[in-house]
Every structure is written in C-alpha cells, then in structure tokens.
Amino acid sequence: MKKSLIAAIFAFGSTLAAVPPLAFAQNANANSQSLQSAIEAAVSGEPSLQAASAMVAASQSQHQLARANQRSTIGAQGSFGASSADFGAGSREIYPRSLAIAWERRVFDGGASLAQVSAAEYNLAAQNGEYENARNQLVAEVAKAYSDAYVAGQALRFANDNLAAMQRYANDATLQFNAGEVPVSRKAEALAALAGAQSLVSETQGSLATANANLRRLTGRDFTNPSLDGLPNYIPQNIATAREQALADHPLLAANKAKLAAAEAMVRAAYASRYPNVSVSARASTVRDQFLAGYKSDDIGAYVNFSVPLWTSGRTTANIDVARANRDALKAQNSAINRNIIFGVERAYVDYEAAQASLIAARASLNARQIAKDSVEAEFRVGMRPIVDLLNAQRDLTSAQTALAMTSGKLISTRYQIMAAIGIMN
C-alpha cells in the first residue's frame, strides 16, 4: 500500500508541475486558518466520529469479555445471620457461620467459546474499519465545507469590488445625464446595475454565512480567513490505479470481510451448542456454630461436571439457521460494497477531471474578461462605447472571478473526495 501511495504521489507531482498555482492565494496572510487545522478540529470533536470511536471501544470490551469467558472462575460464598421475634415470650436464633470457595474451568464446549472469541476479534476489526471510513468521509466533508467557505469569501470580495465599480459608473452616468450628454435611459441602466450589485453583495453575504455555519457545525470553530495555500495533492495518477488501491485498502471492504469472518465464527458457535459442555471444579467449604463448639463441617472436593442437550424444542436448529442467514447476507453485501466503491472512485475521478478542465477554462475566461473590461472602460472614457457596454463588461468580470474561485475550491474538494473513495486519507 505504501509503495503504491508513494508512486501515486510522485506521478501526480509531475501533473501538478504543469498546472499553474491556484488563483488568489496571494490574498492569504499569516492569520489564515488552514484546511489541516479544520480537519484536526473536526476529527477531534465531531459527534458522529466520537460515536464511531465509542463503538470501537465497546467492541474492544466485548473482545475482552469473550476472552475472559474462556478462563477459570473463582468464587466465594459465606453467610452469618441472626433473627429475633417477640410473641409475648420472645425468641432469638443464631445461624451458623459458613464459607465456601470454588474454582471452575471449562474444558470442552464444542468450540463455542473459541468461536465467540474469534467473532469478537473480527467484530473489533470491523468496527475499526467503519471508524476509519467514517473518518475519511468526515475529512472529505470538511474539505468541501472549507472550500465552500473559501469560495463564498472570495465571491463576497468580488461582489464588493463590483459594487464599488458600479457605484462609480452610476456616478459617471448621473454626471453625464446632468450635463446633457446621455439620455435618462443610460442613467437608469447604471442605477439598475448598481441595484443589482447591491443585491449580489447581500446574496453572497448570505452564502458566506451559510458556508461558515456548515464549517462551524463540523469543526466547532470559526474560520474567518480560509485559504487554499499549501494544500496536499495526494491522489493516484490514474483511475485504474485508484480502483486497484480502493479494492485493496478500502476500510469498508476490510470491515465487511471481518464481519463475514465473525459470522462464520458465530455459525460454528451455533453448531457447538449441540455438543456437551464439560468443566472441572474444586470446592472447599467450612461451617461453624458460635455457640455449639462441637458443630462444624469441613468439605474439600474435586468434580467433573457435564451437561448435554437432549431436546431444545428447535432452538438449536433455529440459532444455526439465523447464523447461516447472517453469513449469507454478508456474502451478498460484500459484492454490493465492491460495486459501490468502484462507482465512488469513478465518480470522484470524473468530478476531479471536470474540475481540472473547468479551472483551465476559468483562468482563460478571467484573463479575457479582464482585458475586455479594461478595453471597454478605456473606450467608454473617450466616448466610443455606451455605459451599458461597460456595465456588462464589469458584470462579466465579476462572474469570471467568482467562477475561478469556485473551480479552485472544487479542485481541492474533489482531491479529498478521491482519497475518501479510495479509503486512504492522510
């Protein structure tokens, strides 16, 4: 697994060399709160992951209990009592003092206890696999929430820049109208664009508040300046490698295989209930009376104990049938999990490749929109273009800036989605 991961890292490194740095990273400053810190906060405090961790702890205790049931037991029992009653004459009784210590060890139970230990071990492995998968899914969810917060923050910044520009253009149109240079329709267009810019700011503020609330839900913290600087890029070099890695390393597959092994062990335990139970024991007891000095009894003995079922009204057969049905269901479920994992890997890769293509297109579009806006504004200033063209160019520029931020965030979240689909998260 480690070799394939290292190979994937080096292979992807060559791909990254051809990809320009993410836009707007220069806006991150020393106060930025990294995605890694968001992931650490979520892993340490997210309630659903804590619940999964508690299930692992419960499975560990079940495993310890199954092992303890194989070992010897030692018990002590004693009594001392007195009673009194008053029915006119009165009476008082003193009971003898007694103490008994017994030791017992099971020597044969048809393999039931050993099967139960095996089942507990496999169930523990299954819970660990499910915990690891829950952690991977949480990391991918945090990465998406973090990138959403980043995109919303960038969109608000661009919306505010757009609002400032539209305010200037509205002022210009008002001055031109007052000077009689343009008709009232031009002024109205500029004012309408200004209202649209104000609405865009309000909309992006709402989106940012929602994104921050979702990130806070996952991490329990506020992130005021998320940045896409310095994020890891650990993904396999191609989809075929990713599929192979997922089928080899996905924790859900490991968990289901462990559950299947546990179910096989429970089938063996169910069959074992047909066989006799044999144990050996030793017992030492003493009885003394505090008033009758001659009344005493001491007993030491060793015993072989056995029990064998003769008729159980079908309970034994029913338990066997239930255990076999659970095993068969897990066999079928294993095939379904394989298919779902492959589908998840392929879907994640499709999203990643689409994000890569969108990022390239968004960069080209932004460059073109910036040039177009600068050109239109220069022509507007010398009277060669109407203000409506400038308003449209500014809106297109803002849309292109926001689209680039969105595709940058999408590219990051899809990388984590690929790793979650594979089942490996660093």
Domain boundaries, the chain: 2-20+33-74+111-276+329-422
Q: State the pLDDT confidence band at 292, using cuts at 50, 70 and 90.
A: low
pLDDT digits (tens, 9 = 90+) for 228-284: 877 766 788 888 998 998 988 899 988 998 999 999 999 988 888 888 888 888 888
Give me the DSSP letters along 361-414. Answer: HHHHHHHHHHHHHHHHHHHHHTTSS-HHHHHHHHHHHHHHHHHHHHHHHHHHHH
Q: Is the pLDDT of residue 29 over 60?
A: no
Give me the DSSP letters along 286-334. Answer: EEE-SS-TT-EEEEEEEEEEEE--S--TTHHHHHHHHHHHHHHHHHHHH
**pLDDT value, residue 232:** 67
Average pLDDT over the chain, rounded to an integer: 85
Percent of the chain with pLDDT over 70: 86
Determine whether domain 2-20+33-74+111-276+329-422 maps to CATH 2.130.10.10. Answer: no
Q: Which of 169, 221, 204 is nearest to 45 (CA)?
A: 221
pLDDT digits (tens, 9 = 90+) for 318-377: 989 998 999 998 888 888 899 999 999 999 999 999 999 999 999 999 999 999 999 999
Q: Is the pLDDT of residue 105 over 90?
A: no
**pLDDT value, residue 13:** 35
Q: How many other CB atoms sit within 10 Å of the CB of residue 170?
A: 21
> By the 8 A CB rule, do 156 and 165 touch?
no
Residues 6+ apart with CB under 8 A from 291: 94
Q: Which phi and psi angles does 384 have, rounded to 5°?
A: -90, -15
Q: Is the pLDDT of residue 82 over 90?
A: no
